[in-house]
Amino acid sequence: MSQINFQPARQSTKRRQLKRRQFLRQSLKTVAVVGAAATASNTFASALTAPIYAPDRKLRLINAHTWEKLDLVYWSAGEYIDESLDQINHLMRDHRANESIAMDVNLLDDLHKLYALLETKERVHILSGYRTQATNAKLRTRSNGVAKYSLHMEGRALDISVPGRNAKNVQQAAISLQSGGVGYYGSSGFVHIDTGNIRHWNGS
């Protein structure tokens, strides 16, 4: 009786198993590549849709009457910071009446830009911020340079000076912003800025 040799069948089975393992490995690699590509695509898409914010806006201030100081960020990640605005409103209050108002944020932004143009690290001195009607009327009796309907009463004007920068420097920088009114008071050493119509003048 002749002996039957089953070796070829076993070899055929091994080849099929080897091919199956190779197919599985290749499939896993393909899945990994596709997954990585999808992750990269999602990351790229997220980067395209994510908001891009400008740098924080910061102010360094001192009230020239009370000597209160602030050094804070008032705008970050596309939003104004309420707590910072409250502190700024308090510093810029009418110190005579001890009353404050919400200062125009556009005025704060102009002050921030002006500070950058002046290239200084000194605090901006706030000589006059918000004024009540009573305070404005009292100041009008002392100077004809005080407007009857002053924008100070709306929280839209500031009188400022900057140590190390003369009033002329501050005036020229403020005018270059082309953002609102700029008054030059060289003899008194300060500059008026506001968010009214674009104009400029020389005071006493």
Q: Are 91 and 85 in contact (CB under 8 A)?
A: no
pLDDT of residue 41: 56
Enumerate the domain spans of the chain: 1-50, 57-202
What span, in angstroms and rounded, lies between the C-alpha atoms of 195 and 129?
Answer: 13
d(CA 113, CA 108): 9
Question: What pLDDT score does 145 carry?
Answer: 79
Contact predicate 164/100, CB 8 Å:
no
The pLDDT of residue 142 is 87
- pLDDT of 31 reads 47
Fold category of 57-202 in CATH: Muramoyl-pentapeptide Carboxypeptidase; domain 2 (3.30.1380)
For the chain, the C-alpha Rg in angstroms (whole number) is 35
Environment class of 113 (CB within 10 Å of its CB; exposed 0-12, middle 13-18, buried 19+): middle
* H or E, element range at 106: helix 105-118
The single residue listed with the structure tokens 């009114």 is 181
Q: What pLDDT is stored for residue 47 in this prediction?
A: 52
The pLDDT value recorded for residue 2 is: 46
pTM across the whole model: 0.74
Per-residue pLDDT of the chain (204 residues; tens, 9 = 90+): 444 444 444 555 555 665 566 655 665 555 455 455 555 556 555 555 666 788 999 999 999 999 999 999 999 999 999 999 999 999 999 999 999 999 999 999 999 999 999 999 999 999 999 999 999 999 999 887 788 889 999 999 999 999 999 999 999 999 999 999 999 999 999 999 999 999 999 987
> What's the pLDDT score for residue 6?
45
Q: Phi/psi at 108 (nearest 5 deg)? A: -65, -40
